[in-house]
Amino acid sequence: MKTKESKAATYLCIGIVLSFALTIFKTLILDRYPFYNIAVSFGMTLVIGIVIGLVVPFDLIFASECRRHNFNSSSFPTKMLFSLIADAIFTPLMTIPMVFFNYLIPNKEVAGQGNLILDLIIGVFAGCAVAYPFILLLILIFSKIGNKKNT
């Protein structure tokens, strides 16, 4: 059984890794932001990811969904469901502020920034697609570590 501290560490790790991955992905897909915007975006999403990891009651959400779908807590479909839930919570809350920040920053290198609504839609959906495998991988790694500690 995982302790409360190890679960919190899992959620914090997810927030940190997603912050880095989404910032890099957003930079690669849009390829129009200078380094200082990337650094500020990473810092902003890092803070958001840590706050989400500490504040959101993942255990309650996850337990209710497992009961609702009759999943065993250690099965692969359960880990996929948890990844989907974490992705649905983390990614929009990290992507939307990052898109707003990058859209509102005036700089000469980003002339003709495009449509904010379109950037938000693309950012959230593409971010969810990129974040899901990262979250699933982290969940699988942490469950392996937890299983080794329990044996």
**What DSSP designation does 23 have?**
H
Query: What dihedral angle (degrees, nearest 10) is formed by the CA atoms of 89, 93, 96, 101?
Result: -160
- Structure-token pair, residue 32: 């129009």
With CA atoms as reference, report the closest residue to 52 among 106, 95, 2: 95
Q: What's the whole-model pTM score? A: 0.78
Cα–Cα dist 50/89, whole Å? 13
User: Pseudo-torsion of CA 84, 90, 95, 96, nearest 10°?
Assistant: 110
Structural contact between residues 12 and 53, judged by C-beta atoms closer than 8 angstroms: yes
Would you write out the chain's pLDDT as a tens digit for each of its 151 residues?
Answer: 456 666 777 788 888 888 888 888 877 666 556 667 778 888 888 899 889 888 888 888 888 888 888 877 777 888 888 889 889 998 899 888 888 877 776 654 554 556 778 888 888 898 889 889 988 998 888 877 766 666 5
pLDDT in tens, 26-65: 776 665 566 677 788 888 888 998 898 888 888 888 888 8
End-to-end CA distance of the chain: 11
